[in-house]
Structure 1
Amino acid sequence: MKDEKTAQILKYVFIVIAVAELLSHAMEWTWLNQFTKPLLMPVLLVYFRKGLEGPVNLSFILAVFALLFSWFGDVALMYVHEKEWFFLVGLGAFAVAQSFYFFSFKNAKTQGGGDNFSPIQHLFNVFPFAVFAIGLLYTLWPFLDGLKLPVSIYATLICLMALGAVYRNGRTSTESFNQVVFGAILFILSDALIAINKFYAPMENASIWIMGTYILAQWNIINGLQKDYNERV
């Protein structure tokens, strides 16, 4: 009961920090951003743990590492304006985070079944992500210069992460499945906005859209996984 109350408090703390983070971009308050952005993932991580009703499992541990590397990526990207190589550091950290999420999804299994997909179902699952990744890379390719390989690898990893979320279909509750898939798609959208804004065409209010979709992505993934774990108790 105590952890449940703490989780509820942390939920609202996270929301307040998220709103403050978006406000820092809207008002261009760099001093606030220096405080709010590094707090997002640690607060979400503690909320994740406090809301867990059952014992810690492998999927949970992998998701925790995804949050830790996401935090590292968040912090690295805060300093891109000082040193451009911080972008590669951030990209690498998020690539590791996507890998941890993929394996977390793979190991999150409440119900039996859902593992036998027909070739048509596999094609239906893979096709939209493949088209999106290829289309985005095709658009950005002339502008990537020396970042062609790392950006291509990252695009592949984040699409694999989203596919991992899709392949939970039939292996968990509908609510958990929908929330994690929604989060994964928002994660792809957020990273696509980063790439478009950085390499193709600067967008108005880009940081608000990027952080807004990113925060919602992480929130939905974590809450979807938490529902899955708690259904096992």
Structure 2
Amino acid sequence: MAKEIVLFVLYSVVHLFAIATITKQDALYLPSKIIPILILIVALFRYFPSLEKRGKLVAVGLVFSLFGDSFLALPKEGFFVFGLGSFLIAQLIYSYAFTLDSKVKPLLAIPFLLFGSSFFLVLVPKLGSLLIPVGVYISAICLMGWRAAARNSVSKPFYLGLFGALVFILSDSIIAYSMFLKPEMDRFTASMGIMITYYIAQVLIYSATKSEELDVQSVKNT
């Protein structure tokens, strides 16, 4: 297993432990949450000083994810919209990265459209002033899932990226469920579910990108 993946898993476990033992008000909460994503960002640029276009896009997406993590880790509720906006940008960037080698394939959009619209309709009565921001975000993450599924190359990076996108959708669905549909849900249970799926999603997208970058390097060196 690559060193950065070992570090990523280790620090992800540290944050899961933090969820169980401290609150957002604790000074250690924010660093423990963002370090795993920071490890992936640093690893991309360390391994590949000259990233291909998709690699650069994924790196920028990880940076905006880092911003989103930071906003959502702050104790004040008012930062939620900023976190949502940061992750919205990350999803659009990931969508573009997946689109670089994909065709339209409209039929593949149907399951994501059905899921996104159905979930949004269930959420609508609970959203209030967040109706539009949440609706836009659901559209973006379903777009990301569709573009990941529509890629031309059915290979290891394809499956890693697709599974990463699907798990990302699951993670954000848990956020919406626990925040709007089941606000009385135990904070520990919700946070653990959200962060475990979130970290899995990001490391899968990172691994897909790294695998593609290694393939490009291999071709260049032959």
TM-score (norm 1): 0.84
RMSD value over aligned CA atoms? 1.9
Match of 1:78 among 66, 73, 77: 73
Counterpart in the other structure of 2:96: 103
Report the residue type matching 2:60 in the other structure: F
3-state SS, counterpart of residue 231 of structure 1: helix
| 2:56 is aligned with 1:61 | yes
| Separation in 1, partners of 2:51, 2:80 | 33
Gaps of 5+ in 2: 218-222
CA distance in 1, matches of 2:46, 2:190: 33
SS in 1 for 2:216: coil
Match of 2:9 in 1: 15
Following TM superposition, by how much is the alpha carbon of 1:67 offset from its aligned partner in structure 2, in angstroms? 0.6
Identical columns (%): 32
Q: Deviations over 1:164-197 (max 9, x none)?
A: 11111x33x5211111000001111111111111
Determine which of 191, 196, 200 is the counterpart of 1:207.
Answer: 191
State whether structure 2 residue 212 is matched by structure 1 residue 217. no
Q: Which moved more, 1:212-221 or 1:20-29?
A: 20-29
Contact 2:58–2:97 under 8 Å retained in 1:
yes
Q: Write the letter of the residue equivalent to 1:216.
A: I
Matched, 1:126 2:109: yes
- Cα pair distance change 1:29/1:70, threshold 3 Å: same
Return the alpha-carbon distance in structure 2 between the equivalents of residues 187 and 165 of structure 1: 12
Q: Distance in 1 between matches of 2:85 and 2:158?
A: 27
1:114-193 counterparts in 2 under 5 A? 115=103, 117=105, 122-123=106-107, 125-168=108-151, 170-171=152-153, 173-193=154-174
Alignment-derived partner of residue 36 in structure 1 = 32
Pick closer, same or farther for the CA change 1:116–1:134 going to 2, 3 Å. Answer: closer
**Distance in 2, Cα, partners of 1:25 & 1:175:** 33
Counterparts of 1:116 and 1:97 in 2: how far apart (Å)? 21
**How many Å separate the matches in 1 of 2:199 and 2:21?**
18
CA displacement, residues 131-159 of structure 1 (integer Å, 9 cap, x when unaligned): 11111111110010011101000000011
Partner Cα distance (2:50, 2:66) in 1: 24
1:35 shift after superposition: 2.6
Structure 1, gaps ≥5 residues long = 1-6
